[in-house]
Amino acid sequence: MNIDKKQELLTAALELFYEKGYEKTTINDIINKVGVSKGAFYHYFQSKEEVIETISSNYAEKLANVAMQVLNKAELNALEKLNLLIEQGQKMKNREKENRKKIKQALISDENLKLQKKLMQKISMEFIPFYEQIISEGIEQGIFASTNKKEMAELFINTGHNLNSSTDDLENLYINGTIDATQYKQRLDEKLDFYEEIFTRILKIQRGSIQLKQAYLERLKVK
């Protein structure tokens, strides 16, 4: 398998999905942009949906590698790992900002809601074990309150998705001039303070222990 050619197809497809939308982009559009035959496309992918799934999976794999590096730091306790995971995750999202924007824009139409949900569920399933391990370690270390680890991991992931989506929307309002810098900062502060409070209460830890707000403000470059 020619990895470079496969990546070239993925890169071209993402550009087209971003420019035209996933629904309006055809396989012919992709192969014409790259300059390969339809047979070459089907050598790597069975369908257009597999292309967007692969793009999303590659992004998720990068996040998973970041998470694994954090989990392997035996010198850190569970709370330190959780904070580092949040911090490194936000840094990773900043590095992948353009790709994240393109993937989100490609699937923004109502016709793609089912596909959006499918991709989100797939990514979530990959990350549940990481959070489950941190929560389990935290309970064993007496840092977190005893709870259902799997349900708590799912709550973290789902709440994180909601927070990422709402902060992205807020950032777009600021970029588009709908709100000014003062309003943007105020609404971000309120939102991040609220989410920090949620996690603090659920885990029954001391207020200020989770450094969620700081990580997000650094990614969004807000002071």
> Is there a contact between 212 and 198 (Cβ–Cβ < 8 Å)?
no
- Of the two residues 168 and 134, the one the predictor is more confident about is 134
User: If you write DSSP's letter for every residue of 48-104 in order, what string do you get?
Assistant: HHHHHHHHHHHHHHHHHHHHHHHHT-TTS-HHHHHHHHHHHHHHHHHHTHHHHHHHH
Asked whether residue 21 carries a pLDDT value surpassing 90, the answer given is no
Q: pLDDT band for 116, please (50, 70, 90 cuts).
A: confident
Q: d(Cα 101, Cα 52) in Å, to the nearest integer? A: 14
- Of the two residues 76 and 156, the one the predictor is more confident about is 76
Q: What is the pLDDT of residue 1?
A: 52
- The pTM score is 0.86
| pLDDT 10s digits, 181-209 | 999 999 999 999 999 999 999 889 999 99
- Which residue's entry shows tokens 């409070």? 197
17 CB neighbour count, 10 Å cutoff? 25
- Which residue's entry shows tokens 């793609």? 112
Q: Give all domains of the chain, ordered by start, each with its CATH number.
A: 1-46 (1.10.10.60), 55-221 (1.10.357)
Q: pLDDT band for 48, please (50, 70, 90 cuts).
A: very high
> Is there a contact between 219 and 91 (Cβ–Cβ < 8 Å)?
yes
Q: What is the pLDDT of residue 223?
A: 65
